[in-house]
């Protein structure tokens, strides 16, 4: 059979699918890209680290489930989460990706500023930030999801203003540049980076208030907040080299 969408079907005639969301939550900490992982307490993959996630509830879209899980895992309130960047990555549906049953998982990528600590409310007790360089083997196909998410984020930094999602509400251009350099694994020319960002309308907006010292030494840097632009025209291209 084929035809358009389910028709003439009997739900019980099909083996049930479980639908879950998996979250790849990234942050930039100490000039390294980190991803939030939780330690598994049960088999399979007991003791392995995995992406946070969970079931999509019967009356909930996958996007809503992702937001809900993100709030639970990061300990942020439901009010703060709407401001975070959350983006559907792709869906993983290999029949054997979970040895217990058929689980189709919709993966999301989230970009958050460097939060104090992943003080997980609920069951997310064993949650930790991990440097994406040199991750061990993760549970299920989560290695692949993390890799896909990294690729997507790196590409999106080129043609969107997404990088500000990694920054606190007020940030310096040096911090913003650090985001690019960390995700892409390259060094950028500061004067040119600065010009490019400021020349893009709506990328950043000068913030009120006094400048701030970043590294303790040096001239205090002016503060900026994220603008309302989403697209970046023309693109901010990364130099030749491949990423870390």
Partner DNA sequence: CCAAAAGTGTTGACAATACACCCATGA
Partner DNA sequence: TCATGGGTGTATTGTCAACACTTTTGG
Regarding 234 and contact with DNA (CB under 7 A), the answer is yes
| Largest separation between any pair of C-alpha atoms in the chain | 71
217 binds, among DNA, its own copies, none (CB under 5 to 8 A by kind): DNA
What b/e readout covers 29-38, taking b as 16+ CB neighbours within 10 angstroms? eeeebbbbbb
Q: For DNA, how many residues bind (rule: CB under 7 A)?
A: 27
- Of residues 170-229, those binding its own copies (CB under 8 A): none
DSSP state of 160: B
Query: Could you identify the residue written with the tokens 């217990």?
Result: 100
Cα separation of 178 and 95, whole Å? 40
Preceding amide of 157 cis, omega within 30: no
- Considering the rule CB under 7 A, would residue 214 count as an interface residue with DNA? yes
List phi, psi (to 5°) of 131: -65, 130
190 binds DNA (CB under 7 A): yes
Q: Which is nearer to DNA, 8 or 234 (CB)?
A: 234
Residues that bind its own copies (CB under 8 A): 1-9, 11, 14-20, 22, 38-42, 50-56, 58-63, 69, 72-73, 88, 90-91, 93-95, 98, 100-106, 122-124, 139-140, 234-235, 237
Residues that bind DNA (CB under 7 A): 172-174, 189-192, 194-196, 199, 211, 213-222, 234-237, 239
């Amino acid at each position: 059979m084929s035809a358009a969408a389910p028709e003439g079907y009997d739900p019980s005639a099909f083996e049930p699918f479980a639908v879950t969301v998996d979250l790849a939550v990234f942050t930039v900490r100490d000039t390294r890209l980190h991803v939030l992982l939780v330690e598994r307490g049960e088999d399979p993959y007991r003791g392995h680290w995995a992406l946070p996630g969970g079931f999509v509830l019967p009356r909930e879209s996958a996007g809503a489930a992702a937001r809900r899980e993100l709030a639970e895992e990061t300990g942020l309130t439901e009010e703060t989460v709407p401001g975070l960047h959350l983006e559907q990555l792709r869906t993983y549906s290999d029949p054997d990706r979970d040895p217990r049953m058929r689980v189709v998982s919709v993966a999301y990528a989230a970009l958050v500023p460097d939060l104090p600590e992943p003080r997980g409310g609920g069951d997310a007790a064993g949650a930790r930030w991990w440097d994406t360089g040199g991750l061990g083997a993760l549970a299920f196909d989560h290695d692949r999801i993390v890799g896909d998410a990294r690729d997507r984020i790196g590409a999106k930094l080129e043609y969107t203003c997404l990088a500000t999602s990694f920054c606190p509400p007020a940030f310096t251009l040096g911090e913003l540049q650090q985001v690019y350099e960390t995700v892409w694994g390259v060094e950028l020319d500061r004067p040119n980076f600065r010009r490019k960002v400021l020349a893009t309308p709506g990328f950043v907006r000068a913030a009120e208030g006094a400048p701030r010292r970043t590294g303790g030494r040096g001239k205090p840097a002016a503060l900026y907040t994220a603008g309302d632009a989403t697209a970046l025209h023309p693109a901010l291209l990364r130099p030749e080299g491949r990423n870390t």
